[in-house]
């Protein structure tokens, strides 16, 4: 009797075993150890290439962080932003949020090329974007976090999704919050992730209306400090100079810290989408004040919100593919 019970128990365990073994492969979740056996050097390789790029041009950190954000808000974190136009597929690179501003693609290409030599067809472009975003934050003085991994790459792009889903500099607070909520993010994530504007640049065309014609009646935005506005007008005329660059955080433009929020309290946020965090919603205004007062609280929440954003609709298991070239789906490569 005891032997037959043992045999039945063994059978039941064997029957259950395949489900257990499949979970990580097909269960659709991400975890930091995903490449520990298949490509253990992946993160170090990515980090070293990014460090060289940052040494040449510190601005690249903000550019790579932005790429991850613009990727995740369109069809999820699936590297669709990296695809060039091909056949009937139109690239997201030509969308309003990305045209003449999305950059850093060459660094992603370099990381991908190195990883293809180290462990071919293993590390996805989507995961490279997530790793590069974390490393860009760290190298600029910001927080670190374990990046959940295991994303796969999309088989297409969405120009309309890029045009419609990514918050624009001149959107109202409510529109921006709605776009975040559609991605499963909340007001805390909105304010914390906006803090990424502590590094990087913006073009004159992205905030010109605040200087000259905020509401269409030829009057500037008076929630912008007028002395600061006067300085900005020197290099951002009412016409022309569209591509002229300005620091998003004029106090510490290449250091990842909470000075961005302090600038908002002084009414010196560069973009309309920055300043409305203080002026248009009480809950977000309280968060701005909290992060301005305590850098550690901001950095901790930023890391949490980045992990949350990186989990937007990833392709896992057998969905999507592992591109060999981040700019092309494998069928076209």
| Ranges of each domain in the chain | 41-200+248-311
Kindly report the backbone phi and psi dihedral angles of residue 297, in degrees, each rounded to the nearest multiple of 5, phi listed first. -65, -40
Give the per-residue pLDDT at 331: 75
3-state secondary structure at position 318: coil
pLDDT at 332: 55
State the distance between the two ends of the chain, measured CA to CA, in whole angstroms: 62
- Beta strand 201-203 with 245-247 is antiparallel
CA of 287: how far to CAs of 90, 186, 262, in Å? 39, 12, 12
Q: Binding site membership for substrate: which residues?
A: 167
Around 38, how many Cα atoms within 13 Å sit in the side-chain half-sphere? 13
What integer pLDDT is reported at residue 29 of this predicted model?
86
Enter the CATH code of domain 41-200+248-311: 1.10.520.10
Burial pattern 36-58, b for ≥16 Cβ within 10 A else e, equals eeebeebbebbbebbeebbeeeb
Q: Token match 């569209």: residue?
A: 242
Q: Yes or no: say if 264 and 227 are a contact pair by the CB < 8 Å rule.
A: no
Closest CA to 138 of 250, 293, 297, 306: 306
Q: What is the pLDDT tens value at each position of the chain, 333 positions in all? A: 444 444 333 334 333 333 333 323 333 589 999 999 999 999 999 999 999 999 999 999 999 999 999 999 999 999 999 999 998 999 999 999 999 899 999 999 999 999 999 999 999 999 999 999 999 999 999 999 999 999 999 999 999 999 999 999 999 999 999 999 999 999 999 999 999 999 999 999 999 999 999 888 888 999 999 999 999 999 999 999 999 999 999 999 999 999 999 999 999 999 999 999 999 999 999 999 999 999 999 999 999 999 999 999 999 999 999 999 999 999 754
**Phi-psi label, residue 79: left if phi above 0, alpha if psi -120 to 50, beta otherwise:** left
3-state SS, residue 75: coil
What amino acid positions are annotated as catalytic residues? 70
Residue 274: the pLDDT is 97
pLDDT at 7: 38
Helices (H), the chain: 2-26, 42-56, 60-72, 105-118, 125-139, 159-165, 173-181, 187-194, 208-212, 226-235, 259-265, 272-279, 282-293, 295-310
Q: What would the two tokens of residue 295 be?
A: 């850098």
Q: Tell me the binding residues for heme b.
A: 197
Give the residue ranges of the annotated binding site: 71, 74, 76, 78, 80, 92, 167, 197-198, 249, 257
Q: What is the pLDDT of residue 9?
A: 38
pLDDT given for residue 104 in this prediction = 97
Of the candidates 182, 143, 169, the one whose C-alpha atom is nearest the C-alpha of residue 272 is: 169
**105-122 burial by CB neighbour count: b if 16+ within 10 A, else e?**
bebbbebbebbbeeeeee
């Amino acid at each position: 009797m005891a032997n037959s019970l043992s045999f039945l128990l063994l059978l039941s365990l064997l029957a259950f075993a395949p489900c257990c073994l499949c979970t990580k492969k097909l269960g659709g979740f991400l975890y930091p150890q995903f490449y520990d056996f298949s490509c253990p050097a992946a993160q170090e390789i990515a980090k070293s290439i990014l460090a060289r790029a940052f040494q040449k041009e510190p601005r690249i950190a903000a550019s790579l962080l932005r790429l991850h954000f613009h990727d995740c808000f369109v069809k999820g974190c699936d590297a669709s932003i990296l695809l060039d136009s091909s056949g009937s597929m139109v690239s997201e690179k030509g969308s309003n949020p990305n045209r003449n501003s999305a950059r850093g693609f060459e660094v992603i290409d370099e990381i991908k090329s190195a990883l293809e030599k180290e462990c071919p067809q293993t590390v996805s472009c989507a995961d490279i974007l997530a790793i590069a975003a974390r490393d860009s934050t760290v190298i600029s003085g910001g927080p670190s976090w374990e990046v959940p991994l295991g994303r796969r790459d999309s088989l297409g792009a969405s120009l309309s999704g890029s045009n419609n889903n990514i918050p624009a500099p001149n959107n109202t607070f409510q529109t921006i919050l709605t776009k975040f909520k559609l991605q499963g993010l909340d007001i805390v994530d909105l304010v914390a992730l906006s803090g990424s504007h502590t590094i990087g640049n913006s073009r004159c065309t992205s905030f010109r209306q605040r200087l000259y014609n905020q509401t269409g009646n030829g009057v500037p935005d008076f929630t912008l400090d007028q002395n600061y506005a006067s300085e900005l007008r020197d290099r951002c005329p009412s016409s022309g100079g569209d591509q002229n660059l300005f620091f998003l955080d004029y106090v510490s433009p290449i250091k990842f810290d909470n000075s961005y929020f302090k600038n908002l309290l002084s009414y010196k946020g560069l973009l309309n989408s920055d300043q409305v965090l203080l002026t248009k919603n009480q809950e977000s205004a309280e968060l701005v004040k909290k992060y301005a007062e305590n850098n550690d609280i901001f950095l901790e929440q930023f890391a949490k919100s980045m992990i949350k954003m990186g989990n937007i609709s990833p392709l896992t298991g057998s969905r999507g593919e592992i591109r060999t070239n981040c700019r092309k789906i494998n069928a076209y490569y």
